[in-house]
Amino acid sequence: MKLLFTILFLTISLKAFCGGGDTTRLTLEDVVALAKGNSIAAKQAATTRETNYWVWRTFKSNYEPQLSLSGNLPGYSKTSTPVVQPNGSILFQSIHYDNSAVTLNFSQTITATGATIYGETQMQRFDDFDHNSILYNGVPYAIGFSQPIGQYNSLKWDKKIQPLLYDESKQAYIEAQEQISITATGYFFDLLLAQVNLQTATNNLENTQKLLKVSNLKFELGKVSKNDILQLRLEELNAKKAMGTAKRDVEIATLNLGAYIGHEGDDKLVLMVPQTISQMNVTADKVLAQAFENRSDAIAFVRRIAEAKRNVAIAHGQTGFTATLTANLGTSNSASSIPGVYRSPQNQQLLELQFSIPVLDWGRSKAKIKTAEANQQLTIDSVERDKQTFKQQIVTQVSLFNMMREQLAYTAEADSIASEKYKIARDRYVLGDLSITDLSIAFTENDQAKRDYVQSLRDFWSAYYELRYLALYDFEKNEKITYK
C-alpha cells in the first residue's frame, strides 16, 4: 500500500504541475516504443539489418546455377596495322572489318569439391569490308568442368561460416533494439527526476511561505525567535534556487528525450512514474541458458573458431602441391552462313592439368601452416576466456537486478515514512511543539527520500532492460524477444 501510495502521489503531483497547456503523457513503455520506432539508432540498426540480408542473399546465389549472356556487338574497326614482311621489313596495311560475337554460358558449382561444371554455346560473325566477305564461326555446344586439387575450397568453408554470420547479424539487430531501450530508459529517468525535483521544489516553496506567514505572526507575539524567521527565509531562498535549477534541468532533459524519440511540437512531455514488476522469476541459470541460446556473442564464439579452422585450410591450400584439372568436350565449325555452322560440326576436346610443386621454399610453407595453427589455438583460448567473461557479466547483472528490486521496496517505504514524518513535523512546528532545526531535518529527509525513490526506480528499470539485452529474453512474458 505504501508503494502504491507513493506512486500515486508522484503521478498526481506531476499531472497537477504540468496540467497547463497541451501535454503529452508518456509511460516508460511509450518512450521505449517511440525510441525503437523513431530514433536514429533504430534507423541505423534497420539499415544494417537490410545490408546483412542482401549480403546473405549474395552468398546464397553463389550456390545456384548461373546463366549469363556476353559478347561484343558491334566489333567494328577501321585502321592500319603493321605487317612483318618475309624480308623482315614492316608494311602498314589498312584493315576494315567488324568482328562480333555472343556467348551464352551456364555454370554450376559443386560445394563438396569446389569444382565448376559449365556449358556454353557461341556464335561469331566476321565481316571483311575490304574483300566483301562474311564468315561465321561458332561453337554449337561445349561442356566441361574445372576441378581444383589440393587447394582451398572457399565454397565449403563459406557454407559453414556465412550462416553463422547471418544468424549473428539477426541477433545483433535484436540487441541493437534492446540497447535503444536502455538508452531511452536513461533519458526517461533524466526527465522524470528533473520533473520530480521541480514539483518538490514548488511544494517546498509553497509550504515554506505558509510557515513563514505563521512564524511572522508568532514572532510578533514573541512565541518564536528571530533565528526561526531567518531559517525559514533561508529555506525559502533555497527552494527558489532549487526551482530555478530544476526548471533548467527539465528543459534540457525534455530536449534530450524529445530528440531521441523523435518527438516534435511544443506540447509538454509529462512522464508517468513506472511501477515495478512483481511477478518475475530471474535466476542466473535461466539468464545464462537464454543468453547462450539467443545472443550474437554465443554465435560469434562458434563462428570465430570456424574462421580459425578456415585460415588453417587456407594455409594448407596455398602451400604444397596444388593443381587444376580442366576438361572440355564440344563441337565447333566455320561457314559462310549461320545454318552452315550447325551442319556437320567438328568435335573439339580439351584435357589439361596445371600444377605447382614447391621444390625449395626454405620452410615458408611449413611456417605459414604453423602460424595458422598457432592462431587457431590462440582463438580457441580467447573464446574460452570471453565465455568466462560473458558468464560473469550475466551472473553479476542478475545479482544486481535482484538487489535493485529489494532496494526499490526499501526506498519506497522510506519515501512514504519521510513524507509522513515531514507532515507531522510541519504541524508540530505550527503548534509550537518542534524546533526549526528538527523541521529542517524533516524537510531535507523528505526531499532526499523522494529523489532516492526515483533513483531506485531508475536503477531497477535500467537493470531490467540490461537483463533483456544480455539474454534477449522477455522475463515478464517468459518468451524470447523477436522483431519482424
Which stretches of the chain score pLDDT less than 50? 1-20
Query: pLDDT tens, 267-319?
Result: 788 889 888 766 677 889 999 999 999 999 999 999 999 999 999 999 988 88
Cβ-proximal residues to 436 (8 Å cutoff; 6+ apart), any chain = 224, 227, 228, 231, 232, 429
Half-sphere exposure of 429 (CA within 13 A, CB side): 28
Neighbours of 363 (CB within 10 A): 9
Q: What is the pLDDT of residue 466?
A: 93
Residue with grid cell 614482311, as numbered in its chain: 85
Q: What is the pLDDT of residue 429?
A: 67
Can you name the residues that pair with 98 across neighbouring β-strands? 76, 127
Q: What is the pLDDT of residue 24?
A: 84
C-alpha cell read off for 207: 509550504
Angle at 367 between CA 362 and CA 371, to 5 degrees: 170
Q: What is the pLDDT of residue 83?
A: 85
Query: pLDDT tens, 436-469?
Result: 677 677 777 887 888 888 888 999 999 999 999 9
Amino acid at the residue 90: I
Q: What structural domains and CATH numbers belong to the chain? A: 2-58+158-306+374-480 (1.20.1600.10), 70-110+115-152+321-357 (no CATH)
Residue 262 main-chain phi, psi, to 5 deg: 75, 30
What residue ranges in 305-422 does DSSP mark as E strands?
322-335, 346-356
Closest CA to 426 of 197, 203, 198, 238: 203
Can you name the residues that pair with 355 across neighbouring β-strands? 323
Query: 414 to each of 2, 6, 74, 407, 456, how far by Cα in Å?
Result: 9, 10, 88, 10, 12
Half-sphere exposure of 133 (CA within 13 A, CB side): 6
Q: What is the pLDDT of residue 309?
A: 95
Query: 211 to each of 232, 243, 267, 418, 426, how far by Cα in Å?
Result: 8, 18, 35, 19, 8
C-alpha cell read off for 367: 611456417
pTM for the full predicted model? 0.81
Q: What is the pLDDT of residue 298?
A: 94
